[in-house]
Structure 1
Amino acid sequence: MTIKIDGGELKARHRAMWALGDYPAVAGEVIPELGATLVAACGVRPGDKVLDVAAGTGNAAIPAALAGADVVACDLTPELLAAGRDVAARRGAALEWREADAEALPFADGAFDVVLSCVGVMFAPHHRAAAAELVRVCRPGGTIGLLSWTPQGFIGQMFAAMRPYVPAPPPGAQPPPLWGDEAHVRDLLGDGVADLVARRAAVTVDRFADPAGFRDFFKNNYGPTVAAYRGLAGDAERVAALDRDLTELARRHDRGSGATVLDWEYLLVTARRR
């Protein structure tokens, strides 16, 4: 059963936020290997029908297509889909791109062998509705695979650092990093799945020369961070405070000597649709 959620202004804000900055640079330069990691964990094979939910620029969808699967990549933000088409063309991957809301997917029940999402569906504001859709469109016996940032990991802590600088979420919206908590995901998927396996791992990011370099890259390219700074426009004191907090976050997590090296923890979940 599809759980209907009124999109309205909240969905419009989400769509606009992810179009800010240059998310293709984040996906392609900072975390390019995550999608392939999820595709391998899901055991995607040639001929599988695969849906990548909240696909962004296709970080998981493109590796799945290159593995021989029949792939649909869907996302709320058309600008990301357009960028993904360009990436896929450069890499020689053939797949379908569809604009779609993760909380109300325009696909039939049981239409896909594999339903996956790489740091994507976690940003849908209504977690239970999104989880119900993941289960609904996966065929019985098919695979659901999710890779999400953890609350205690670097990106989860980045969102915690930004929280004092952004408006409070509307009632019913839940924090994205909860998808990185195993108990939360087990509760969301519930009796709709079996054989759920969860493991924590980390992607090592050595893209930045120093903590300030991380801050500036995300300040200019990552939609939620760009939106946070835009909301502070004209308040130089709070802009400087957010600058300090993000720089300090990277400094605390830096394990490099010379260039900054950061480990960004994620939760990787695979399960079988009952």
Structure 2
Amino acid sequence: MTTPLKAKHRDIWASGDYAAVAADVIPDLGSVLVQAAGVGPGQRVLDVAAGTGNAAIPAALAGASVTASDLTPELLAAGEKLAEARGAVLDWVAADAEDMPFGTGEFDVVLSCVGVMFAPFHQAAAGELVRVCRPGGTIALLNWTPAGFVGQLFAAMKPFAAPPPAGAQPPPLWGDEEHVRELLGDRVTGVSARTGSVRVERFAEPGDFRRYFRDNYGPTLAVYRSLAGDPDRTAALDAALDELAGRFRAADGSMRWEYLLLTATRSGGPATP
């Protein structure tokens, strides 16, 4: 059953053009996660909050049997076209990361690349990641850090956005190692975590970033739409995003967006089936 909150989230991610954002800004990020998870032929892999398949498609091309799940059918439809163009065969399933329609222990590897972090109730989503992974299987997550560029983007937008529902937690907390360790708890072992960054060269000037994200990135687009008719607050948001992009911009115009990459083994069994 779709709740008003889930419908709102689905509409946010269906707006704009996330397929373009993934392709233009972070095209290789999913492959980083797939490699870190050791995905290979014969494995049953679930990509949670897969979007347009940034990690799911490379996992399928690595020979795994892949299911890509996401709350937003429009993203799955776009991903299916991308997969076909790249010769990747996988299943696309509309699913809520906090209540997935998959069996307990169904997958050998459970992935999420800057996806599950946007499920508002972190503990519920973490519980589902663990539940659907078989004992001895791998959970691998790549999420934007709070102090990195995207974490600071959400901090910059917060004063202009509607307040979150009671009990919801900020997405960038999934980029904090201790937070994720607490979410997964003793249901996993062998946790390994490191920070990395993606080099973004798409935006020559701070204003280029602001305009691109205003038009294409669902969460930013939603905040701008909420300010329609209020030119002063719109101008203040413009200034905040320009300041942010300028702060993270190197002398050559590039940016570094930091992420946390965390892998763990599901407790309760050997590392191989």
Q: Report the TM range for the smaller structure's normalisation.
A: over 0.9
Q: Which amino acid aligns with 1:262?
A: M
1:193 matched to 2:180: no
Equivalent-residue separation in structure 2 for 1:7 and 1:177 (angstroms): 24
TM-score, with length taken from structure 2: 0.97
Q: Which one of 237, 251, 265 corresponds to residue 258 of structure 2?
A: 265
The 5 Å alignment of 1:86-101 reads 86-101=81-96
The 5 Å alignment of 1:160-199 reads 160-199=155-194
Quote how far apart the aligned CAs of 1:151 are: 0.3
1:77 matched to 2:62: no
Quote how far apart the aligned CAs of 1:256 are: 3.0
1:35 matched to 2:35: no
* CA deviation map 1:5-34 (0-9, x unaligned): x85111110000000100001101100111
Report the identity percentage: 66
Quote how far apart the aligned CAs of 1:208 are: 1.0
Q: Which amino acid aligns with 1:67?
A: A
Number of the residue aligned with 2:271: none
Q: Secondary structure at the match of 2:126?
A: helix
Equivalent-residue separation in structure 2 for 1:30 and 1:204 (angstroms): 9
Q: Which amino acid aligns with 2:264?
A: A
Number of the residue aligned with 1:215: 210
Quote how far apart the aligned CAs of 1:209 are: 1.5
TM-score, with length taken from structure 1: 0.96
Q: Secondary structure at the match of 2:139?
A: strand
* CA deviation map 1:91-128 (0-9, x unaligned): 11000000000000100000000000000000000000
1:59 matched to 2:54: yes
Equivalent-residue separation in structure 1 for 2:4 and 2:194 (angstroms): 35
Q: Which amino acid aligns with 1:267?
A: L
Q: Which amino acid aligns with 1:192?
A: R
Q: Which amino acid aligns with 2:228?
A: A
Give unpaired runs (5+ residues) of structure 1: 1-5
Q: How many residues are matched?
A: 267
Equivalent-residue separation in structure 2 for 1:134 and 1:41 (angstroms): 17
Number of the residue aligned with 2:45: 50
Equivalent-residue separation in structure 1 for 2:207 and 2:162 (angstroms): 25
Equivalent-residue separation in structure 2 for 1:115 and 1:40 (angstroms): 13
Equivalent-residue separation in structure 1 for 2:223 and 2:85 (angstroms): 32
The CA RMSD over aligned residues, in Å, is 0.8
Q: Secondary structure at the match of 2:112?
A: strand
Quote how far apart the aligned CAs of 1:57 are: 0.1
Q: Which amino acid aligns with 1:130?
A: A
Give unpaired runs (5+ residues) of structure 2: 268-273
The 5 Å alignment of 1:151-162 reads 151-162=146-157
